[in-house]
Homo-oligomer: A and B are copies of this chain.
Amino acid sequence: MNSRTEKGTHAPPAPGSASGPVTIEMVARAAGVSQSTVSRILNGTAVVSEAKRKAIDDAIATLGFVPNPVARGLAGGRTFSVGVITQAIDSPFYGAALRGIEDELEVLGYSPLFVSGHWNVAVEARCLDVLRSRRVDGIIVLTGRLTDQALASCARSIPVVVTGRTLMAPGLASLNFDNFEGGRLATQHLIELGHRRIAFIAGDPEHPDAVERLHGYRAALEAAGIRFGREMVISGGFSEASGLDAVDRLLATGQEFSAIFAANDQMAFGAALGLQRHGLRVPDDVSLVGFDDLPASLYAHPPLTTIHQPAYELGRLAASAVLQLLAGNQPVVEMPAPLLMVRESSRQRRD
């Protein structure tokens, strides 16, 4: 199989033919230079005389040469791929972020390598191992439950970008969305509509985002002189099912309320269904506000008022940050601020 060593026994590879991949050696030969020189042009590692450069460019074009990333990875230690630990590849929220990562990485010829952590420290740690064994050049961690320490430690040997938390460490950049402010905005919106009995469907308490949104909710209430009551906070788990269930439990307590703020859109969808099941109309009987602004929120029934989280942008920014880290720069990334999207699930309170 080592065709390189069989001298002259096989036909020269016709341009674009299927006779095996074109190697850098063939390009060098065709251009009458050494492999080193071809490699240098490919990598912009050194200045090369105009004549040779031209000859090489021509050879590359006519042979249709594409560098083998695997060989590059072994020899140069760079694989031109960045690992992405996403918690669930089919997440409606992170989907857009993944697309953002893809788009940004593509510009520089990098490929993302997606792995799923499933919100499980052990699994995420394994993901980290897989990614490192595959020699990715950098790693993006979308939230997750890895400790700050584990992340910082990893960043000592490879650039790391983490979202969903604020963390300072060498070789590491973090991107955090202002969940507190988002929670505050959502709640304030409801207050401005005249609501005073506002229930909150909380997210997973292990999830920092969820906790911050709760704090935002509480802050808005207190700023308006409304008593914050524990009994108005219903636990949830970020899923539609948990939102549905939360409404059942809220109603079971017999408390009065004219509005609900759900810590994410998925729970809001479940809550909307729960309300409907109990004969309550949104927004006529109860106003509903979500968080995330999933693509589906626009077509929910009714279209959901929510806090827009720039997932796609987040992905682009995270990818841009690893790329900067890879280039040896300290990333400068600015997260967009939370934005309230007023749609049809919230309205003025009626008495």
Residues in B neighbouring A214, C-beta threshold 8 A: none
Least CB distance from A197 to B in Å reads: 24
A70 to B73, CA, bound (A): 7
Q: Is A276 interfacial (CB-CB < 8 Å)?
A: yes
Least CB distance from A288 to B in Å reads: 11
Whether the pair A70, B135 counts as a contact (CB closer than 8 A) is yes
List the 7 closest pairs (A to B, CB-CB), nearest first.
A90-B95, A301-B301, A240-B299, A70-B73, A269-B299, A66-B133, A89-B98
Stretch at the interface among A47-55, A107-115, A140-148: A107-115
| Interface magnitude class on chain A | 35 or more
Q: Is A340 interfacial (CB-CB < 8 Å)?
A: no
Whether the pair B301, A272 counts as a contact (CB closer than 8 A) is yes
- Against B, the Cβ 8 Å flags (1 = close, 0 = not) of A62-100 are 000011111101100001000000001111100110110
Other A-B pairs, 16, CB within 8 Å; known A18-B156, A90-B95, A296-B296: A18-B157, A69-B133, A70-B70, A73-B73, A74-B74, A88-B99, A89-B102, A92-B92, A92-B296, A102-B116, A240-B296, A240-B298, A244-B299, A273-B301, A273-B303, A300-B301
Q: Is A130 interfacial (CB-CB < 8 Å)?
A: yes
Whether the pair B18, A133 counts as a contact (CB closer than 8 A) is no
A130 to B110, CA, bound (A): 10
Interface residues in A4-41 by Cβ distance below 8 A to B read 18
Q: Which A residues are closer than 8 A to B by beta carbons?
A: 18, 66-71, 73-74, 79, 88-92, 95-96, 98-99, 102, 111-116, 129-130, 133-135, 156-157, 240, 244, 269-270, 272-273, 276, 295-296, 298-303
A298 to B269, CA, bound (A): 10
Least CB distance from A171 to B in Å reads: 14
Chain B residue with Cβ nearest A298: B240
Chain B residue with Cβ nearest A1: B77
A237 to B299, CA, bound (A): 15
Least CB distance from A265 to B in Å reads: 10
Chain B residue with Cβ nearest A269: B299
Chain B residue with Cβ nearest A312: B90
Cβ contact of A74, chosen from B70, B130, B240, B300, cutoff 8 A:
B70
